[in-house]
Amino acid sequence: MTDDATDRDAAGVVAFAYEMGVLKRLRRAGWWHVGVRDPESVAEHSLRVAQLAALIASEEGGDPARAAYLGMWHDSQETRIGDIPHSAKPYMDVASNERITEDQVSVLPEAAAKSIREAVTEYEAAETIEARCAKDADRLECLMQAVEYGEAGYKRVTGWIESSRARIQTDFGRRLAEAALQTSPLAWRDR
């Protein structure tokens, strides 16, 4: 039998998980600018960010699990504010990701809430190798998605490629960006 506090903790985690489920339906809005009718969801983006963050961290001497964890939470705030394209951000006064996360995790048991708050704070500060790897993974994932949309026939994706590429900081991240620009998105099928 459980007590009321345990039931509240469980209910809080479930409510939070339902909120995170919104990311599966929330589309990455910037891609509408180039005509993509059904762009990737924030959750789809975040999955590949977490995967890439782990791989970059492995090569950069960081903790792959920590980098993946940071990548997993990097856009979780978008359940509350939506995916705001970079072109709209100068016109918006939006709370910080740390502030939004604080509200989101208020229903969680303290250990879980603390884990997510610390991950978001670390990601945003970008002072650790894991955070830098996760940020590079976010940029690399955007670059790769632009390449994939370009291959699918969407035009004017070059801006996403160039801006993402220019902001990648780690050596391995830069190497991956160069490889992504020279490798077909279907190259894996030929192996």
pLDDT of 161 reads 97
Burial level of 75, CB count in 10 A (0-12/13-18/19+)?
buried
Kindly give the interhelix angle for 110-125 and 64-73, rounded to the nearest 10 degrees.
Answer: 90
Rounded CA separation 10/32 (Å): 38
pLDDT tens-digit series, residues 151-177:
999 999 999 999 999 999 999 999 999
pLDDT of 139 reads 98
pLDDT of 4 reads 76
- Tell me which H or E stretch contains 160: helix 158-167
pLDDT of 85 reads 87
- The whole-chain average pLDDT of the chain stands at 95
What is the average pLDDT across 8-17? 96
pLDDT band at 2 (very low <50, low <70, confident <90, very high): low
91 alpha-carbon distance from chain centroid: 22
CA nearest neighbour of 130 among 188, 73, 30, 56? 56
Q: Please give the angle made by the CA atoms of 99, 104 and 109, to the nearest 5 degrees.
A: 115
Q: Residue 27's beta-bridge partner residues?
A: 41
Q: Which of 4-13, 36-45, 53-62, 139-148 has the lowest mean pLDDT?
A: 4-13
